[in-house]
Each structure stands twice: as C-alpha cells, then as structure tokens.
Structure 1
C-alpha cells in the first residue's frame, strides 16, 4: 500500500492544479453552464481515479471467462467500487444528456420564440429625421485610428499604453466613442500598478474632435495581470463566481467616470439559449462592483444585450419560423451579414436588415432591437436593397478612385428610407459621403461634404420620379406661390431635372423632375407659378406639383 504521506501529497498536488486552473482561466463554478459542467466532470474523474490507484493499488484489466465483459481490477484482485463507478457515470451522463436535451430538436419553439414577436412599425413614424450636422460619420475602425493618432501625439504615454476596444455611446446627449487606455505589457503594468492615465473620447460626428481625458485611472482592464484582470477581479471579488458573464464594454457615466459594463446571463434550455439577465458595473478605477437586474440598470448604461445574443435570436426566429423540418425554406429569413448600433430618440438599438433565405440583393425589411430591454421593432420594406448591395452601389459610383464604403446607417430623409455611408480610401480615411435609396439602390448621391452628397441624392430621387419622395400617406404637403427669378434644366442618367428660384423664398432652391409637369419646359424667368412640395432639406425643396399661372 502506498504510504499515507504519498496520498496526501497526491491529493494536494491535484488540488493545487485545480485551484491554479480556476484562477488562471477564471472558471465559472456554476455547473448549469456547459464549460463549468465539463470542468466538474474532469475534476471528479481526477480525484476518483487518484483515489482508486492510491487505495487499491495498480490497475489492470481482466476478462470474465463466462462473458465478453472486461472488468477493471486493482491490486489483490480488488474490483473498482460500485459507488465510484456510478459517480463517474453520473457526472459524465449529466454533461452528455443535458447537452443533447438542449439541442434544437427538443426545443424548436424555445429557439424560435426567444426573440419575441417584433412590433411592426412604420419607418417614417418611428425613425425620426436626422439632423445631418449630427449624423455619425466615424465608425469603429476610424475611431480606433483617430484614438491611436491622438495617443501618438504623446510619446511618453504611447510607449506605456495601447488602445483598447472603442465603444459607441451617448453621453449627455453627445454621440461619442469611448476608448480605454490599456497597459502595453507586463513591465508597463508593473511600472504603473495604479492604472493607465485615462481614456480617449472620439466624437462620432466630427473627425476633428478627439480628446485625451486624464485623471481617471483605468486600473482594471481586460487581459491584465493577477487580480487587476477585469474578468478575474469580477469573478472572484465582484459577485461573479457562480454567474454567467459576457460582453465586457467600456462606458462612461454622465460625469465621465469610467466603468466596465459586464452582461450577466443564464441559459433558458440546459446549456443553450443564453439570455441576458442584468449587468455587473465595475468602476474601472476603484474596482467597486454592483450587480443590477435588467429592469434596474442605471439610465446612463446604453447597452446590456450582447450583439451576438441578439443576432443569434433573430436568426433562430427566421430559421425555425416553420419548425425544425422546413426543408423547402418556406418563409425563412436571416439577418444581414452586417449590423450597426444606432440611436433613435435617445435609445440605443441594434439595427440590421432581414433577407429571405436564398435571396441575393433584396431585403424584406429591417429590425431594430433595444440594447437594454431587447424590445424589437420590425419595418417591412419588401424589395429594398440590402446593406451590402447599397455599399457596392455607392463604391461603384466613385470606382475611379478605388474608395470603399463603410457599413451603412439607415436614416429618414424626406420620409424616404435612405442608406448613409462614408467612402474611404485604403488608409481608412473619409474622402466622400454617399446616400443610397433603400427602395432603389441605383439612386446614389455622392459628394465631398454631407450637404453636397445630399443635394446630389435629392436630385437623383427627383429625376427618378416624385413617388420616391412622397413617403407614406401622412406626409404633409405644402404650397408656395411666387415669381421665377431663375430656372435651368439638367440631364442626368437620361432623366431631365429642373432647378429654379422664386422671389418669395430667398435662398431656397426648388428641384423638380420633368414628369411633374409639362409646363416646366415652357417656364421662363418672370413667370408666376404655384409650387407644391413634400419636404425641405438644407434649403433644397423637392417639388411634387407645379402650375405656371402665366401659361394658364
């Protein structure tokens, strides 16, 4: 028999390895999560196996003469105890059975209905017209470049830190990217144990507005060391030891204090269908942590729902819309290849297109999901262009420059669903702007400024016909009378457009498609006219009705 002290050292060694594994990998100790259940199964197997070897001596296999079964025997022909066998069977059976029971085969309705039925809305009613002066033009890629440039302006700081992951958010009504500064290595961490100096704010609407904010130490960071590591600190000191945690995002409160917002979640079916339950807010400077249920999350927190959770739930709803055995793909739909975070009426949403399975460049509509409550809204715009198709169309408009289009933001212009995107060079710098009609992605407006691109776009819409500009039936039409002071025609893509000025509307330009009225071709300066229009953007009016009083 092995001496007692050898047994102690063996168990102590296994225990030490388990503790080190838990500390290094920040293990969730709740067995209701698949990774944790596997951890327990392996640990129990190690202890039972070590007990068997130490207690019973060397292990060997013996075939029963009267049956094909092979028995495990230990020293002195001792058999492995039944209780140990059943314990091992139980832990591994739990893992396997729950994994199988969690599959979609047994839970198809739960998979389909995890994302509740969206509220079907009218795009022009719910999506507020955006002030183009405040339209977000800086995406995540550009925000990181601008933050790196700002960090490079301070050589001493740049050698000590590197840029973390930017997070878009609204702080005191201003849309920004918040970018944490993180230690650039082990020795930099040892030299600055109180944390990095602060963070960088990049305006989402102005590429020139980039600020380095110091005085708010970032002590707790992702991928840091010992208990300064954010996940490890939260797991062992922030109440996360038995909690599912994911989606670590950097946010600022209304006073500019830095926090990490960590989503907590549970599985709705065994090890599957993760669902956000709330958030743990960790002060990035002090490490102080508070766990909030979903309904109690502070108002300044913009998002709790992980983007991956939301997209999976949208796709599950589309995949199993007709059940599990829908081999004909009837009514199936899926989210677009990309998505974007947008703000509407002060709330944060994930916005993505919906396309039929097997469709190419057309969309059946869009879905907008609140990133805190998960309340969803769907806008049916059958036959519209997908985001990818719009990107290709915008890039094709300036193909001679080799620019590429950023992922588009969908906005409301003149009650018309419109994609807006930036056109970038190979360095990722903005060179032009583009607007693309969702209904007809061949209508594209580009320009070196947002205003110029918008005018080009409105001109294209006008040339294509007034129906593209009327929007829904609730669109308010207005009329104005006056004398034409100047008028000219323009032919673009085979379509004739008229532009004119009136003496009663100084500084306003009227744009009309030729098919609005045959009288446009006969109109001259000095003629009295009456104009009907449906929208005015940046002193450009889209004409939907025209009457030349001089012609009668």
Structure 2
C-alpha cells in the first residue's frame, strides 16, 4: 500500500498537457528520478513499509519533485493549481507530522512510561560487588588480546555490552569487519572478546571460531540490519543492534522493536529481535518471553529516550520550554547514550541516570532513575535523603580535585545506597584508562568520602568516615538494632584523621564491632578480657558499627 500511494503521487510529476506528452524524455525523467531517490532511501536507510513513513520521509521529497515538474513542463493554469495544492498539502503534512504533532502528543509520551517513585534504592554494602570497571578500561584490556586474531587487519573491535554470563559480570564485544573491501575479503568475523566488569586487574579473553557472517559491519545481504528489515518490512526499530552471548557462549545480536506513540512520533518498546550471526536465523520475542540470557531487551538509546519522556514531559511540551514545572533533566555523562548499565543484587541489569534542575548553574541532583533493562520499568528515587545531593559531575570533580597531583580522573559515577546513605561510587582512572583507585562520596556532603585501591577497602574506609560525622550520616543501613553482651577476645585500634577506631572481637559472635572514639571516648581503654555490652545495627556484614557502648568493667 505504501508504494501504491507513492505511485499515485508520482503521477502528478507527469506532464498532463498534450504538447508535453509528445516528448518521451520530458515525460519520463522527473518521475524516474523520483523513484531512483526512493530506491536509494529505501536501500540505505532501511525505511519501514508502514504507510505513515511516507509522512516523514517522502512528503517533502514528493512536493519538491511536483514543483520541479511544474517548472519544466508547460502546464495550463488548472493543472498548475492542482499541483500547487498537492505540494502545499504534502509540505503541510510533513511539517505537522515532523514538528507539531510531536509537541501535541508530548503528554502521551510521558504517560507511556511505566514508572514508580521510591525514596531510595536497595542498600549496597562492601560485601556486594558493583559493576565498576569503566568501559575504557575494559576496551584497553580487550585491545591487548585483539592482536592475537588471524588476519587482524581485516577486523576491528565492536561496541562493548555489559551482561551477566553464567553468574559472572562481563563486558562482551564482537569482532567486526573493518571496511568494505576487508569485509568482502574476510567473509565473516571470527567471534568476540570478554572482560570482567568487576575486576580491573583481570585479563580479557578471546572467543573465536564462531564465523559470524551476519553482523552490522558487513554489507549487502550479509548486513545484520538489512536481513532484519527483510524479515520484518513493517517493523519499527529504535537504536543500534546490541551484542550479547548466551550462557553457553553462543553469540547473538539483538534489536529493540516497538511501535510509535502516534503517527511517526515517540516510541514504545514491545520486545526484541534475536539474530544468530552465524546462520542468519531471526526470532521475535515480546518483553515477557525474551530468552533469560538477554539482559537488555531495551537498548541504551531506548532507555535514554524513556528518561527524556519522564524528565521533560510531565506537563506537556510547552511547559518543558517555559514554566518548566516538575521538569527534571536527565544528565548525559552516562557511559552509553547518557545511561550507565549496572547490576542489582539479583543479577538484573538496570540503566542508571541522575536528574538535575533545568535552572542554569545548579549542580545538584533532583533524583535518579534505574530502568529495568528487560521490562522497561523506570524506578525513580527522590526521597528526602536524595533531594539536593550533588550530581554526577560534582562527584567527578571531587575525585579530580583529590587526585589533581596524580592527574587521575573520576569516571562512570553511580549513586548507590551505601549504609543507608545515597553515595557516589566513582572509579578513579589515569589517562590511559587504568583503574587506580575507587572513591565513595557522601552525595549530600562532599567532605565525607573515602578512597581505596579496591572497592572493599574504599567501602570500609567510607564506613569509618561516616562514623565520624553527625548521627544523621552514621552508617546504619536498614537493618534492625540488636544487643549483645560478651567478653573481648581480641581488640585492634587504628587512628584515622585524629580519630581512634576500635575493632573488637567478642567470644560469642563472629562479628567485628567497630567503635569510634569520637562517639565513645572510653572505648580507647578496651582490653582483652573486658566484658562489653553493645548495641549495633545488624546489616549482615562482617564489620558492624556500634551505636551504644558499655564496658561493664569500668564504672
């Protein structure tokens, strides 16, 4: 039907007068050129066969060719009026669909976002392992083993995708063809490379022997997007293909599909297309039925689009420009299209973004979102602890200033709920992308932070830093208060920034109890054999902070 409509429109590019019809050349060249342009656009841009695609792709092109035919052909006034009217209608349809309709349905885009509002995200502790290796670090590691590929000049490293494979958090990157002639010479690509997403000291690994023929960097009928468009000529896709591997190591490409909110405006995710790059086999899945190994049914571009709808369009398009009531701007320093992929405790992938105020010069965050990468559900966190905290750029600046002498930089900042407080976890890298340190920064107070050569060390030091602050920032997590009375088996004391921290091991518990001398000065006199009565927050960690301390051997 789409091409029938275009054929009907092309009739208006033909000469209608008897005099003009006598010239075969004049009859043919303008409509022939129009269809040549259609062929080029269809082939290179893989335009879907929805009738509505005419509105944004071909109306302005058709109007131009009709006007061109009016100039070259000697039409009478009646014919010129018909062509002029049609041209105006086509241009009006293009302008309305491309610009005004998108403004009108802005509220519909917002309402299409499936979101929930919460106070703060689930707690993270030093026993957890956040996804914290920056992409540039992983890429540098991958490039070191890239040279081991046969005929390496034929190939280049593709885009990195974070995912969990057999319970291990990894970056995976396909080996792509390097240009047209090398792609034709190679015929296929040999596989992919993996790298740990939690251990920056790990080495990358090659996975070869897969002979991936249908990939984004191939051409003609081997091009991944082309075979997907051939299989689904009316499909609506958004964003770039994404590479993932199954738990058995088999590689796949995914493409996010959905439908428009209205006419050609907006995008709602419906599911994912799965492509076997070896055989070209293509499967279509809804979000609910996508294979379990696919961590990201939504690609990065789609997640970023959801954040824009949610942040800008709560009260429509014009409000986002002028009064800006309830407008919150998603930041753009995420690692992928403005979002940063992270993994929750359950192993589920989320896309993280913090939101800031539209007011110029404000560097505080209004909240942050975690988008479920499989369902598209947006969880927005803006409780009292979160409002007014520093944004990601401010967290990076704290790190940059701390390591100014070393010329190290903060990268990939993500807010976690650390010991009950919203805290920025920031990897610290040198100019070569090597992770040198980790920083944990209290999001509401840049003066409270800690660094360590490992995440665990940084978290432990951060707990100490929180203990030195006032009670509202004391490490407490969300666990219940417990009491214990026992004899001291061992005691260890550590001085940090003028404050003594006493670490105590009792005879009736495997916990290590941490007491700050700034809270309980007499704790400095704790000795082996003393009987203590303690109150602490049981947070399922090995080291716990003491809220109440009493030495029964001291009056």
Q: Fold match, TM over 0.5?
A: yes
The answer to whether the aligner puts 1:172 opposite 2:172 as a matched pair is no
The answer to whether the aligner puts 1:90 opposite 2:89 as a matched pair is yes
- Out of 379, 383, 398, the residue aligned to residue 393 of structure 1 is 398
User: Is there any run of 5+ residues in structure 1 with no aligned partner, and where?
Assistant: 60-73
CA contact (8 A) 2:329 2:358 kept: yes
User: Is there any run of 5+ residues in structure 2 with no aligned partner, and where?
Assistant: 1-19, 334-338
Q: Give SS of 1:455's match.
A: helix
- Out of 290, 307, 310, the residue aligned to residue 283 of structure 2 is 290
- Out of 39, 43, 46, the residue aligned to residue 26 of structure 1 is 46
RMSD: 3.1
Q: Give SS of 1:352's match.
A: strand
Aligned to 1:529: 532
Decide which structure has greater strand share.
Answer: 1
C-alpha spacing 1:341/1:3, structure 2 compared with 1 (3 Å): same
CA contact (8 A) 2:488 2:527 kept: no
Aligned to 1:364: 366
Q: Within 5 Å, give how 1:97-496 maps onto structure 2.
A: 97-104=96-103, 106-120=104-118, 122-123=120-121, 126-127=122-123, 129=125, 131-132=127-128, 134-154=129-149, 156-193=150-187, 195-207=188-200, 208-235=202-229, 237-241=230-234, 243-322=236-315, 324-325=318-319, 327-338=322-333, 339-344=339-344, 345-358=346-359, 360-379=362-381, 380=383, 381-465=386-470, 467-471=472-476, 474-483=479-488, 485-488=490-493, 490-492=495-497, 496=499
- Residue 472 of structure 1, CA deviation: 6.0
C-alpha spacing 1:317/1:502, structure 2 compared with 1 (3 Å): closer
- Residue 12 of structure 1, CA deviation: 4.6
How far apart are the structure 2 equivalents of 1:546 and 1:82? 93
Q: Give SS of 2:465's match.
A: helix
Q: Give SS of 1:197's match.
A: strand
- Residue 364 of structure 1, CA deviation: 3.2
Aligned to 1:63: none
Give the TM-score normalised by structure 1: 0.84
Could you report, residue by residue, the CA deviation over 1:206-264 in whole angstroms, capped at 9, with x for unpaired residues?
A: 332421111212212224321222222222x2214553443311111233222211112
Question: Relative contact order (alpha carbons < 8 A, sep ≥ 6): 1 or 2 greater?
Answer: 2
CA contact (8 A) 1:477 1:534 kept: yes
CA contact (8 A) 2:169 2:196 kept: yes
Could you report, residue by residue, the CA deviation over 1:79-131 in whole angstroms, capped at 9, with x for unpaired residues?
A: 52655444433332322233344142x335324433244242553xx356574
How far apart are the structure 2 equivalents of 1:335 and 1:50? 44
- Residue 335 of structure 1, CA deviation: 2.3
How far apart are the structure 2 equivalents of 1:309 and 1:189? 29
C-alpha spacing 1:310/1:532, structure 2 compared with 1 (3 Å): same
How far apart are the structure 2 equivalents of 1:245 and 1:157? 33
Aligned to 1:69: none
- Residue 476 of structure 1, CA deviation: 4.1
Q: Give SS of 1:284's match.
A: coil
CA contact (8 A) 2:254 2:274 kept: yes
C-alpha spacing 1:3/1:486, structure 2 compared with 1 (3 Å): closer
C-alpha spacing 1:491/1:251, structure 2 compared with 1 (3 Å): closer
CA contact (8 A) 1:178 1:202 kept: yes
Give the TM-score normalised by structure 2: 0.84
- Residue 186 of structure 1, CA deviation: 2.3
CA contact (8 A) 2:368 2:380 kept: yes
